[in-house]
Amino acid sequence: MSEQKTTHFGFKDVPEDQKQDLVGDVFTSVADRYDLMNDLMSGGLHRLWKRHFAAASRIRPGDQVLDLAGGTGDIAALIYDRLGDQGQVVVADINAAMLERGRDRLLDMGKIRRSRFAQVNAEALPFNDRSFDCVTMAFGLRNVTHKQRALESVFRVLKPGGRFLILEFSELQVSGLKPLYDWYSFNVLPWLGSRVAGDADSYQYLAESIRRHPNQETLRQMMEDAGFVQTRVRNLLAGVVAIHEGVRP
């Protein structure tokens, strides 16, 4: 018998077939306080990062857009007005609790008519080939079990010339700041999680998952291996966060 394959869940190694459920438990637990925690953890910077990300998408009127790991709908809300009368955004997430938050947000904002919602696994997208002009994914890829499969699945559903943009935590590029960044990640984040969300363990996992995520160059190469061209990386806040972009030829 072959040994069971394992993958990382934060700093722990777990059976591959268990990671999806473990990640699901994390986001079900934090869904109600997810937006508030993002504000507290980043000092509100995540809002600026997401606005920059939405602008970088270069979405045009009439575009068909897939927002993967769409969670609480904040990216969809930012790109909605760019779609025009004929465009559409599909907000997709593997977690039902997060997706419900996003649907409620867009409904409250009056941005529902050109929005659709789908509970999907990024590794096996249930959409036709060449369906979308743009796919966005903000702070979700690091939680995917098989990242290369997800990149290949996105490539398949993009139209030729379609763009894939990833906003994700990455590798800090200023080595002198690393001790402070690590102290904040592994002390302040779990403390905030405990006090605000009543869940220190989930935010301990989120801090650990950032360290296990591929760095800027590794992820760029993974995108090229999936078939993307014109790949590029833009670091934000010295590489704490990075935007990766690629095009389907």
pLDDT at position 3 is 61
Q: What is the DSSP string of 91-108?
A: EEES-HHHHHHHHHHHHH
Options 3.40.50.2300, 3.20.20.100, 3.40.50.150, 3.40.50.300; CATH of 6-174+202-247: 3.40.50.150
pLDDT at position 37 is 76
pLDDT at position 1 is 45
Regions in the chain scoring below 70 on pLDDT: 1-3
- How many beta carbons lie within 10 A of that of residue 37, not counting itself? 21
What ranges do the domains of the chain cover?
6-174+202-247
Q: 107-146, pLDDT tens digit by residue?
A: 999 999 999 999 999 999 999 999 999 999 999 999 999 9
